[in-house]
Every structure is written in C-alpha cells, then in structure tokens.
A and B are shown apart, each in its own frame.
Chain A
Amino acid sequence: MTRASVNCGYLPLVDCAPLIIAKELSFAAQEGLELTLMKQPSWSALRDRLAFGHIDFAHMLSPMPVAMSLRLGGVASRIDALMVLSVNGTVVGVSADLNARMEATGWTNAFDDPQATSAALMEASGGRLRIGVPFPFSMHRMLLELWLQQAHGYDASTLDIVTVPPPQMAEAMRTGALDMFCVGEPWGSVAVGHSNASLILPGARIWQFAPEKVLGARHDWVSRNAHICYAMVRAIYKAAKWLDQPDNIPLAVDILARSQHLDLPDHAIDPALTHRLVTGLDLPPKRVGGFLEFHKGAANFPWRSQAAWIADRLAHWHGLDRDVAYETAGASFRSDVYRAALTPIGADLPGASYKTEGALHVPTAVASTKGQMILGPDQFFDGAVFDFCEGRVPK
C-alpha cells in the first residue's frame, strides 16, 4: 500500500503531543499516512505557510482559524479546524517582585482562586501591568481579559497586553520587561526555574474546558482531500486516546523528550502531562485537576459553540457584526468532518454539535451516537453561560 505524504506544521509545545505520538507510535502510518512534522519559528510563519499551501495541516491556537476565516490579522484565508488537539494547559504567572507585593496584601497562593488572586493582583500592581501572551489571537489573551476585566479595581488603561514568543517569556520576566504572563507549558515552568517567577492560576480555573489547540487545514484543501483529512483525524484521535491512559504517561514523556520534534528535556514535559505543577522555586508540586486534557470528556470534538464563543470575543475586539461572526466561526469548526472520520471506526460521538458553554458544573451524561457519554465540567469562573444555539448571548 502506498502511503499518502502529508506534512503538519507545529510549534514546540507540550500540547503538540498528540501529533508526535501519532507519528512515533505509527498511528498515522496505520491510517496510511506518511506524516512529516515541520517545526515553525512563530505562529505568524505557521499561519502563512498553511495559507500559502506549504503545509497541509497545522497545530494552531484555537482562535487562529476563526480569526483567519473572519479575515482578521496579517493573512486572511478560509481555514477550518478539523478537531481539537488539546483542552486547557495554560498558566498565568507573575514576577518574584509582583508575587511578593501580592503576598503583602494578605493573599496566599492557592493556585485555584481566580477572584482572590485578581483582587490581590490589582491591589499589588499599583499602576501599569505589562502582560505577555504568545499571540494576539490566542486563548491565553481571551482568558486573561475575561478574568481581569471582572477584577475588583480593574482599569483597562493600566493593562498592557503584549505578544512575546513563548521561548522568550522567561527571559522577558527576568529582565523585568514583563510583570506577568499567560503561556502554555513548558514555558510557565521554565519561567519558574529560570526567572524565579510564580505561577498564580491555571487557565483551567478561568474556563474549565477551554479549547486550546486545534488541527487546522485550508477549507478548499479539505474539500479536495477529504479522505486524507479523515485518516489524519483518526490517527490523532487514537494518539489522544492513548495519551489519556495514565499508565502511558511515563512512556509518553520519554517519547516526547527523545523525539527530535520538541527539543525539551523530560523535566520540562512532565508537569503538564502529570498535572502536577511547581508554582514557585522550592515549593512542592500542586496537583491541578484537568490541567491539560487530550481526550477525556469529548475533548477532541470541535464544538461549533466553542468557535462561536471565540467569535464573540473577536467581534468584541474588532467591532464585527456578531451574528455574521458566529455563523462564519461555527462553520470553521468542522464537526461534520470529525463525525465522518470517526463514525466508521465506531467512536462514540456527541449527539449535538452545539452545547451551552459554561452550563456543566460536574461531569454530566449527555446523548451520544451510542447512547450516552460523559462531558467534563465546562464552567466559567464567573458562572457565565453562553447559549449560542439560540443565537443569543445571555450574560
């Protein structure tokens, strides 16, 4: 059997694990794909290469396909998200100096209290806060704004959100160029080790089920290469399912550290996969439930309502018509492709393609193609609920 050659761009982050496992454990080969992973120097470069057809698939920040489909940013192109590669996995951290000032207000770092933490942050900051995120169109920036805008004493003019490439985040914290950051692993843990930063909140405590990375491809290419897309979705689905088995984690860390794709040592990969994070130098690791999910709770399903939530934020930033934005965004999350890829292998799939974002407080059974499946909690820290099925956004 001849294999179809496909290439996939990625940025060296722990959450590209499903791609590396799909390649290294031959899930891609079993689906008839000769998969080449191509490391990219920046999200902009990855986006351009995908748009111009230099790569077939890409590991993308979940807001990127939506932003590109809405013609926002440097290169506009109709890009689809075929599946979600990972849910959650980001951390917010502050400089040692800011951490000390926050503690002086009487706050202690429980690493799970959004309200108390933002209140301490506002009280301690005393003026401008310069905050680094990896890209303007990122879940990091969306979660950060959602969280801080509701803080007691919030003042938009004192927040300076800037883009800093993740590998440079720790250094920018050390030199004082940044007071604070929101980034994906391993770069939060690296900032702790390198710059004595403190991690103050996991992104999962702002939104319990935030789609973080997606598998992107050009819309027209997807139509012309449907069977390659199905094979790729199946390969990654199987890799994600493998990564979800706790017994496989030590081996996964080993594979990720050894493969030439990440170029990270095992101690940098370990915290995200074991959900045990060291929040400050010399502190014991803290366990964070749901820190980074690859598969559990239908994590791979590209919910059209997740796309609509992202579009809601983008419409707010860029003054777009919300209804048009919801529609374009919903169409870019291809739950139809996902279903077509996985139905033949008997995967259990959600009955609906929209859900009410923020409504599940505990793991909940919902209708699925095989009866019932469990979805994980997806609450927002402030209790907000977004019901896009109705085309309305109750606050």
Chain B
Amino acid sequence: MVEHDQSKAREIIDALVDGGWTDVTVIASAEALERTLGQQDPDIILIDLANPDRDTLEHLGLVSNARGRPVAMFVDRTDEGMTQAAISAGLSAYVVDGLQKNRIKPVLETAIARFKMVAKMQSELDAAKQALSDRKTIDRAKGLLMRARKISEDEAYTLLRKTAMDQGRKVIDVATALVTAADLLQ
C-alpha cells in the first residue's frame, strides 16, 4: 500500500487484517516504490486515487511488467460513481473509502481474479497479434523470393522452410533477415 497518511493506512490495514490478510507493507512515497516492488513481489498494490505518486506507479507498470500485477485504488465517497465505471471497465478495483471492513477482502480477491483473467486474455491477444505480424513478414519474404527466382508461392515457402531447417533457425527469423536485407538494398 502506497500511503503517506499513517492513520488512513492504519484503517485499511485493520480492515485487511480483520479479513485474514496479514501480509501488508506500507510505503510512504514513490521513491521506495521501485525497490519495494522488486523485493516484495506483491499480489496487489493499493493506492489512493488522489495520490500524486500514481504516475510513478504507472511508469513502473510499463517498464517492469507490472501487467502481471493488479492495482486497486481507494477513492473518496464523493467519487463513488467512478467505482462502478472502473469496475465495468474491468481494469482496476476501486475500493470506496469507508467500505464495510468485511467487504474489502472479497473486493480485492475479485480484483485479483479478474486481473488474472484479463492478463490471460491479453497474452492470448498478444500471441495472436504476433502470429499475424509474423505472417505478414513471411508473405513479404515469399514475394521477394517469387520475384527474384521466378518461382511459385509454394516453392518460395518450401525454400524458406528448407533454409530455416538447414540453419537450425525459425522460418520467421529467415524471413525477417531476408526482408531486412531487401530493405537495405532498395
């Protein structure tokens, strides 16, 4: 939990401990954030919506693959409308300040579970995107071979595959090398 206000931090810790969640580390500012994330590898990070350190956390998330780690926000009652919007966006849990103590743990558990599901979908999506982009490269490499050697598409692919096998490399690596070389020669 990132929170410099000790009494506020205390309240949330009490609620978590009451719910049977005892392993909570509180840090006061972003300066310690990077080191703490490395050492503790938390299941979830809690931070106030209004905390200016959120931008630092955002950056760490991008560089240190914190995609593998959910972030939950606690917000003021005045922002309660946002909780619903955030949860329906399916990205973070927004825990309203003053939420009944026995509700905090299930809310966070749901957030972690949802996060894992989204992360899995994301990695599947990434894999699909990669496959698509690989296919584009392989198509370009085939085109280059077809033009240069006056062969058919099937023959071009066979040639790529054979070269890859002979060199113990992947077809996509051979295709990328060919496309890069062709770009350089243009």
Contacts and interface: CB of A to CB of B under 8 A. Distances in A.
B50 interface: yes
Given A74-B91, A163-B55, A48 B61 contact: no
B144 to A, nearest CB: 18
Interface in A56-111: 73-75, 77
Contact of A45 (B49, B62, B81): B49
Interface string B45-63: 0000111111111111111
A45 B48 CA distance: 10
A54 B81 contact: yes
B61 A74 contact: yes
Given A54-B79, A177-B31, A73 B58 contact: yes
B133 A164 contact: no
Contacts of B86: 48, 52
A75 B91 contact: yes
B29 to A, nearest CB: 8
A45 B58 CA distance: 11
B30 interface: yes
A67 B74 CA distance: 25
B181 interface: no
Contacts of B59: 135-136, 162-163
B89 A165 contact: no
A74 B58 contact: yes
Contacts of B60: 163
B69 to A, nearest CB: 12
B113 interface: no
Interface in A120-145: 134-136
B176 interface: no
Interface string A33-69: 0000000011111001101111000000000000000
A220 interface: no
A90 to B, nearest CB: 16
Given A41-B50, A167-B52, 13 more contacts: A41-B49, A43-B55, A43-B58, A48-B49, A49-B82, A53-B85, A54-B82, A74-B92, A75-B91, A135-B55, A162-B56, A165-B52, A321-B129
15 contacts: A41-B49, A48-B49, A73-B62, A74-B71, A74-B91, A75-B89, A75-B91, A136-B58, A163-B56, A164-B56, A165-B53, A165-B55, A165-B56, A177-B31, A321-B129
